[in-house]
Structure 1
Amino acid sequence: MRPFFWFLIVLLSDYADAAIHRDTTKNVTDKALYCISNSKEITTNNSLVTIDLITLNRFFNTYSNLKKYRSDVILLYKNRNYKSIWYDDKQLIEFANVLYSKVNQLENEGLKFNLAYKDKIQTIFNSESTNEITKTEKELLLSTLYIYYAKKVFHGIDTQKIHETGWFLPQKNVSYKTLLDSLLTSPELLDKNEKQLFGQYYKLREALKQYRQIEKSGDWKPIETESWVKEYNPGDSSKTINQIRHRLVVMGDLNTDSKSDVYDAELMAGILNFKKRNGYRPDYPIGSQHLNRMNLPIEKYIKTIMLNMERCRWIPPKLAKADEFIIINIPSFTLIYKKNGQNNLVSKVFVGFNLMETVLFSSSISRVVFSPYWNVPQSILDNEIKPAMEKDSTYMTRHHFEWNKKSLRQRPGPDNALGVVKFVFPNTYSIYLHDTPYKLNFNYDFPRFSHGCINMQKAKELAYLILADYPDWPLEKINEAMNSGVETTCVLKKPIPIHIGYFTAWVNEAGEINFYFDIYDKDRHLAELLFEDNIE
């Protein structure tokens, strides 16, 4: 009886153990299935780094000030099958050090390193640090650091903020996975990557370096002006001229400083270069406006360069690599027609002002209209033409206006506000590029302003160049259409991209930095967004 009793006890015990084991196995299996169904868990390097959605979310809950980067970091790991990026063979890969070094040199990119927990990140690279963090934390901090750097340098401020500045040109999309893949293979692309950044960016970066060297040298001393002198002309002598000469040497407009007080031929050449670089009419008198420009603090020039580097971050590099396009820079009052990589035409323009600012956007020229009618906008009719008609009964006749149903238009002719040709590109802002009868306005430092459209000095020449490959439009036919007094339209076989931008600093093909006046006060607004002291 006793042996059977013990046998029964052992049998029941084994059954109970088996039941417990089954329950435990079921719980573990259920948990595993839960994890697998909700994330992919991959343990690499002998459990050094564990990455899954639970770990990622836990990390961003712990480092809550980094949550704005969470979606991009998670997508980065999803696209890499949740594998470690920064560890290889139990060690940080070399690119981690390269990235950290570049982040600490963000000032060279015209930016500040103001990422939250940057002291924590520093401990990753400090072997003497006593602040222990897990390798998984290091991994995710570095991935966040990468996204932070890529956004700052290769993308720029948020799209919503870009639109707040009035910039509606096409923006590029940055694939952080593709970018990372290229950087891991070719780390030197952190220094220069023209597939990701508009080429002008790197020219401005070099100019930033030069102006910071000037700032560091302490050689940017104020020019002492003489209140009784309205302007300086060739042949004049003054200590102020001596100081002007030195400033031109510092800025690169003169090669050597003779230290002469006399406004001589050498200084004349330097003044011409200075005026060309700063948007002035190229002549020799030096007035108060020129001295005020020279006397701007060096910090102002540096900030202007940084702001325009930011604008370059928004531009898709391929935009400027098209076979044919037109770009208009509003602050410089300049249009450039590029074809096959060459500047085929450079022309002065004047643009809208005050409540009629010309909008910054891109489109494509689809039609060229010769001897155009000018359909008067309602606002101009109400605010300008009707009051003029009330004062002068002959106003409409003298200016060749006529009613077209309920709208007013100006007939084609030499006095037409649109000149002899206009270039039509679809947009919701009622903006055209066109000729103008007011050619004398281009002789001033700052051309007169329009009601929003872009008035062009060399409109005829642009029409000739655009239609050069159109056999049906020889030069004689174009000239006849321009002067016929009858509106005639040519539909382009291939629309030409046109981009209206806003750059107050630009490095030309000769490597010279040009500065232009912030006529729409957009630099101030962008500076408020870009130079916020908030921790990111």
Structure 2
Amino acid sequence: MGGASLSAVVLTSPANAQVPALAGFAQAVAEGAAAEPALAAFYTEHAYAPIWTDAAAAPRRAAFFAALDQAGAHGLPVGRYQAEALRAKFAAIESERERGLLEAEVSRTYLAWARDISSGALEPKKIDAGIVREITRPDPAVLLAGLIAAPSPEHFLRDLAPKTPQYANLMRVRLELADQIAQGGWGEKVPAKRLGPGEGGPAVVALRDRLMKMGYLGRSVSASYDAALQKAVQSYQFDLGMKADGVAGEATLSEINVAPEERLKSVLVAMERARWLNGRDLGKRHIWVNITDFSARIIDDGKMSFETVTVVGQNRADRRTPEFSDEMEMMVINPSWSVPRSITVKEYLPMMQRNPGAAGHIQLVDSRGRTVSRGSVDFSAYNARNFPFAMRQPPSQGNALGLVKFLFPNPYNIYLHDTPSKSLFQREVRDFSHGCIRVGRPFDLAYALLARQADDPQGYFQKILKTGAETTVRLKEPVPVHLVYFTAWPNARGRIEYRHDVYGRDAALYGALAKAGVELAPLTN
């Protein structure tokens, strides 16, 4: 039966051979599925009925192979699924045992692909300890049963990928970038450190040509830095979160000269990150904190209703802001600051050992919560392990948390808060905190959140603020908060905004994707 079609193998077996053939098939399926308990249980519960390798499964099989052919377009590790090898095995079935083993292998491949496309191909916690996001992985039994029951296997398989417009835009740009790379990229880099309106020459022509290929400028043969080119530069700067003055300074030209291959890496990682969020309901109203963008936004029904700049954790191992999702439950007006133990013993204890009066605005507190006089403590007698006191800063204008903090209780002690250090919000790169997110417009954020439960949110907030007393206000409707890290993300117009990889996380993730088999090369199918 070498090279026989699948239908011939199944349908032309003599009647008196059906029982032993089925037994051989079932035993092979059991062997092939044994390594995956969920898959083994599924086949046992369904009496080893084939879902891929009989004639009736042809439409489902065709739909799955068509989906595998598009794995590269999703930025998935194509080699992990061995589609061509599976096709070859179907064409070479010579026994019921081979059919049974192939049945199990296709199911294993399907579960791997379905898991990857619906919730990501990587285990992020193994790559970066700061990615503590809980990822909802699909239930294998649900994946198998859903596919079998689906009236249209094509639609079922297609719907496993994220269905957000952002993911669709990332996928579109992934294909566009691959095509542009195949055609030679964006041309020569701009050989200048600064270009501005009124200038001309080869560098301006290079800038014009590069922006045209990037899609920021229509067809032009102008050799001067005219109004159209200035507008294109402004648009580019705006998309990259830079000062949009229309002057191509050193920072702007540095970004413009980034190769499309590097942008494609950012898009591939962004698609993977979007898949991690696929199993989670973001919430009709939610707070979206993009660490790389130094911003926090309230999203209502898919549209931004509030935005503020932020300061995030420093790029140090113990201070980087982690990535996770939670629910904001309350705000504290006039908060006190309970100094984290790590800051107490690593920063303040050495200061007080040199000068007991150092950081005198912060109280020393014993295990019973009582304030302790600095003069009664011999700081030289303690070290980071045995220091018995905590530290607390009472509510004040100069409190490290400012005048309001926003809590979504989590194991990482991360929250949003005000700050007295307002000048840092003027910086373009804003990674200065110990890990929490400082908010540029904290009062306005409070008003926006309280608007759902107070007729006069500003008046309500200010009345509490003026008391000076630490006061907790619970949100009647907790708001989901998502701390994310996207260096490439579509804006409302569908254009991708790129940001710096401030913690180097995306570089590590792309390395892991490449190791898994994700290809940067242009697509051929």
Name the TM-score, length of structure 2 as normaliser: 0.80
CA distance in 1, matches of 2:247, 2:466: 40
Instruction: Determine if the alignment matches structure 1 residue 236 to structure 2 residue 177.
Output: no
Q: In 1, are the aligned partners of 2:453 and 2:476 still within 8 Å (CA)?
A: no
Map of 2:306 onto structure 1: 345
Map of 2:320 onto structure 1: 357
Instruction: Determine if the alignment matches structure 1 residue 121 to structure 2 residue 104.
Output: no
Q: How does 1:122-271 map to 2 (within 5 A)?
A: 122-124=87-89, 126=91, 134-157=98-121, 159=123, 161=125, 164=128, 166-183=130-147, 184-189=150-155, 192-193=158-159, 199-226=165-192, 230-254=193-217, 256-271=218-233
1:113-155 CA deviation, whole Å, 9 max, x = no partner?
22476554122455xx698884334433332332232122123
Instruction: Determine if the alignment matches structure 1 residue 434 to structure 2 residue 417.
Output: yes
Map of 1:40 onto structure 2: none
CA distance in 1, matches of 2:496, 2:151: 34
- Percent identity, aligned pairs only? 28
Q: In 1, are the aligned partners of 2:81 and 2:113 still within 8 Å (CA)?
A: no
Instruction: Determine if the alignment matches structure 1 residue 334 to structure 2 residue 295.
Output: yes
CA distance in 1, matches of 2:17, 2:480: 50
Instruction: Determine if the alignment matches structure 1 residue 366 to structure 2 residue 329.
Output: yes
Superposition deviation, residue 168 in structure 1: 2.1
Map of 1:290 onto structure 2: 252
Superposition deviation, residue 311 in structure 1: 1.3
CA distance in 2, matches of 1:500, 1:59: 41
Larger Rg computed on CA atoms: 1
More deviation, 479-488/291-300 = 479-488
CA distance in 1, matches of 2:513, 2:52: 30
Q: How does 1:413-492 map to 2 (within 5 A)?
A: 413-471=396-454, 474-492=457-475
SS of residue in 2 equivalent to 1:449: strand
1:8-47 CA deviation, whole Å, 9 max, x = no partner?
xxxxxxxxxxxxxxxxxxxxxxxxxxxxxxxxxxx99887
Residue identity matched to 1:73: L
1:244-291 CA deviation, whole Å, 9 max, x = no partner?
22222222222x132323222222221222122223233333222322
Superposition deviation, residue 195 in structure 1: 7.8
Superposition deviation, residue 394 in structure 1: 8.4
Superposition deviation, residue 420 in structure 1: 1.8
Larger relative contact order, structure 1 or 2 (CA cutoff 8 Å, min sep 6): 2
1:378-404 CA deviation, whole Å, 9 max, x = no partner?
44345555677789998756xx44444
CA distance in 1, matches of 2:18, 2:182: 47
Residue identity matched to 1:416: N
Q: In 1, are the aligned partners of 2:364 and 2:392 still within 8 Å (CA)?
A: yes
Superposition deviation, residue 295 in structure 1: 1.9
Residue identity matched to 1:220: W
1:489-534 CA deviation, whole Å, 9 max, x = no partner?
2122232221211111111221111111111111122123222157
C-alpha RMSD of matched pairs (Å): 3.3
Residue identity matched to 2:403: V
Structure 1 residues 48 and 511, CA gap change in structure 2 (3 angstroms):
farther
SS of residue in 1 equivalent to 2:321: coil
CA distance in 2, matches of 1:529, 1:288: 32
CA distance in 2, matches of 1:195, 1:123: 27
Superposition deviation, residue 373 in structure 1: 1.9
Structure 1 residues 173 and 80, CA gap change in structure 2 (3 angstroms):
farther
Map of 1:104 onto structure 2: 69
Structure 1 residues 178 and 381, CA gap change in structure 2 (3 angstroms):
closer
CA distance in 2, matches of 1:511, 1:48: 55
SS of residue in 1 equivalent to 2:210: helix
Q: In 2, are the aligned partners of 1:236 and 1:263 still within 8 Å (CA)?
A: yes
SS of residue in 1 equivalent to 2:515: coil
- Structure 1, unmatched stretches of 5+, are 1-42, 61-66
More deviation, 462-471/474-483 = 474-483
Map of 1:497 onto structure 2: 480
- Structure 2, unmatched stretches of 5+, are 1-15, 366-370, 372-388, 519-525
Map of 1:56 onto structure 2: 29
CA distance in 2, matches of 1:120, 1:195: 24
Q: In 1, are the aligned partners of 2:402 and 2:418 still within 8 Å (CA)?
A: yes
Superposition deviation, residue 318 in structure 1: 4.2
Q: In 2, are the aligned partners of 1:504 and 1:518 still within 8 Å (CA)?
A: yes
CA distance in 2, matches of 1:236, 1:389: 58
CA distance in 2, matches of 1:44, 1:323: 59
SS of residue in 2 equivalent to 1:211: helix
Residue identity matched to 1:331: T
CA distance in 2, matches of 1:158, 1:460: 39
Residue identity matched to 1:423: F
Q: In 2, are the aligned partners of 1:420 and 1:483 still within 8 Å (CA)?
A: no
Superposition deviation, residue 451 in structure 1: 1.2
Structure 1 residues 200 and 224, CA gap change in structure 2 (3 angstroms):
closer
